[in-house]
Amino acid sequence: VNERDPLVALRLRDVDAAWKIDTDDELRRFHMSAEPSDDRAPHPRRRGIANVTLLGLAVVCLLVALVLTTRGTTAPTISEASRQPGVQPAPGIATGTGGQIAANPGSSLDAIDGAGANDIWAVGETHGKSGTNHSLVLHWDGTGWTTTTAPDVGGLIAVDAISPNDAWALGYTGLLHWNGAEWTTQALPRGNYVALSASGPGDIWVAGTRNGPFIGANSRGLSSVAAHFDGSHWTVMRPPNPGTRDDYLTGIVALSPTDVWAGGYLVDLGKGSAEASSLTMHWDGQGWSVVAAPNPSRSLNVIWGMGSDGAGGVWALGDYRASDRHLRALVFRWNGQSWVVVDVEGTSTWSAQAVGGTPSGPVWVVGSPATSSLAIANCNETTCDTVVPPTEFDVTASSIFAAAPDDAWIVGVSRGQRSTPLIEHWDGSHWIEADVPLVTGT
Amino acid sequence: MCAVSLPPAYTWQIGRGGGNRTEDFDELFRAQFPTVARSLGLVVGNREEGIELAQEAFARACARWDRYQSPEHVRNSVMRIGVNLARSEARRRKKFSNTAIETLPDEGHPSEGEDTPSRLVIVDALRTLSDRQRTCIVLMDYAGMDSREVAGVLRIPSGSVRTHVVRARRRLRLLLDEGTEEAHL
């Protein structure tokens, strides 16, 4: 067994030619992220520096200016926060630590939702030393973000706040419920669930993927799975699997018990088939049915998230590969009859992840490109304007919650030498980075 | 010794208290990074992810730099960190080890045409294995580790590694033969 298998080893060696790696460039990146940097700026862990266009440089400069400005704006809040027991300002911001590893090393935020403007949950994970992840729960009470004790179900990837006494958070290894006083673990059917949404206390949905074919065309790959909790029992659903190899659900949004949307992508067997095609399906209270979704790219279309704009509108977010092989944001809006492709202005390459909004306010779409930068777009029914374009910085936006037209929150992660949680707040005129309580890594 | 304050061209001393071997860190990184990055890429089915995981793994390895006894020790440790990161990152980013998410334009990658699908046959084949089988086969048949080293990386008995590898090879051989037939159609 300790001898290499010649055929397998030969085929594995295919990657040497196909996956070129510029070792010197990677070494530069490594040193760059390891070098002391300005405490105020995210670590410029760059990729493809040669590809930076003049526009890109201008954008970087603008963002640096924005970051420096907004840090100044938030300074009073930092000192205020530091007086609260249990809440400490990020040391890299408040005091500086001589260029050492930034605050909150090895943690990130992945999802945010609120039961009101002053009752918001942000969830994510802290990283253990050997790469294990642990649950991280932060709460906004109207005055500051604080960490909240919760059972460990691995990193948390989705959250839905129904009311002050009823919130759900989905983790790698389990499900958490908030009853108004504490977070407790809840039963969850088998499956790799990555999305969670609830329309009310008795209508909680999770979606994801599980091994093995269920039904339909899918004959040998991974299958879509959805499960519903009515307040006392789970029902595992078997949604359609139109992809002949794999069917993935990566997003779900429940508007009512008879109006639920799930999205993801499918992979077909066959040499000439696309790498991935968009997949959306709808639950009408009786069953799931596939709803045709556009595929702007011939080769690759992926939906990473489903969401509501706060006014009842349903959106699908993801990315597709454009003809120049760059990744572009994929944004669809349901017009009541069919999916409409929402144009994303600008040529920046990024991936849309989440949508948020209020009936009277802007609709925000946030995301990150494959190069891990934050992007924020302000959208109407037909067009998204990128207001914070992606940059070379490793800052990722994962989720958004809008409480009011002048009150919205984005969570994500800054990836420096080690990742740190990111929270940005919209005050009606600017996106400003908020103070994140010190999260003790494990 | 891999601290943030060191100059880029520092030399790296292996072992506690200034052991008797010194290695140039840059040389060690150059020698190990491509294999580590591609191995992790094969585990997650994505080149870019593999590179990011390798960067992060090397960065985390810095924190425990003085514990390493040899270049192999570093490689095995970096691989272990990377594999653990891959497992959690894959789910965190909702990525199911699918080539579909290999989305970055890739210089040096053969240009895409009707008849040259960008996905690698082997990456597709690896996807059909369990996580354990895939990791074992990549570490052994690509990275060139032996079953004892792989067992250390995964913290499982080396007997289990051998079982995974035997099954993975059997399956891969079937699939790769099948892929060849398909290509001739």
pLDDT in tens, B127-178: 888 888 999 999 999 998 988 889 988 888 888 899 999 999 988 888 776 5
Residue in B167, B170, B130, B127 with CA at minimum distance from that of residue B41: B127
Query: Mean of the pLDDT values across residues A58-74?
Result: 40
pLDDT of res. A389? 60
Cβ separation of A19 and B140 shorter than 8 Å?
no
Instruction: Report the distance separating Cα A403 and Cα A292, nearest Å.
Output: 32
Mention every residue, 6+ apart, whose C-beta is less than 8 A from residue A51: none
Taking every pair of Cα atoms in chain A, the longest distance, rounded to a whole number of angstroms, is 66
CA distance A27 to chain B (A): 7
Taking CB atoms and an 8 Å cutoff, what residues of chain B touch A29?
A: 55
Cβ separation of B48 and A33 shorter than 8 Å?
no
Find out whether A240 and A216 touch, Cβ atoms under 8 Å.
yes
Cβ separation of A13 and B142 shorter than 8 Å?
yes
pLDDT of res. A212? 61
CA distance B78 to chain A (A): 10
Percent of chain A past pLDDT 70, that is, above it, reads 74
Most A CBs within 10 A among B6, B12, B64, B96, hence the mutation to make, goes to: B96
Find out whether A276 and A266 touch, Cβ atoms under 8 Å.
yes
- What pLDDT band is residue A419 in, cutting at 50, 70 and 90? confident
Which residue in the set A16, A131, A192 is minimally distant from B85, CB to CB?
A: A131
Q: Assess whether pLDDT exceeds 60 at residue A317.
A: yes
Most A CBs within 10 A among B80, B91, B146, hence the mutation to make, goes to: B91
pLDDT tens-digit map of A131-151: 567 899 999 999 999 999 999
Query: Mean of the pLDDT values across residues A290-300?
Result: 92
Which residue in the set B8, B58, B173 is minimally distant from A7, CB to CB?
A: B173
pLDDT of res. A51? 31
Residues pairing with A159 in the sheet: A169
Which residue in the set B84, B94, B176 is minimally distant from A131, CB to CB?
A: B84
CA distance A13 to chain B (A): 7
For chain A, say whether B73 makes contact (Cβ under 8 Å).
no
Cβ separation of A275 and B140 shorter than 8 Å?
no
pLDDT of res. B131? 85
For chain A, say whether B83 makes contact (Cβ under 8 Å).
yes
Residues pairing with A120 in the sheet: A114, A140
3-state SS of chain B: helix, strand, coil percent to 5? 65, 5, 30
Backbone angles phi, psi at A193, to 5 degrees: -90, 135
Which residue in the set A11, A99, A220 is minimally distant from B122, CB to CB?
A: A11
Distance of CA A92 to the CA centre of its chain: 25
Taking CB atoms and an 8 Å cutoff, what residues of chain A touch B115?
A: 272
Residues pairing with A355 in the sheet: A365
SS3 at position A37: coil
Instruction: Report the distance separating Cα A163 and Cα A195, nearest Å.
Output: 19
Instruction: Report the distance separating Cα A363 and Cα A21, nearest Å.
Output: 39
SS3 at position A225: strand
CA distance A72 to chain B (A): 26
pLDDT of res. B79? 94
CA distance A120 to chain B (A): 21
Query: Mean of the pLDDT values across residues A229-236?
Result: 92
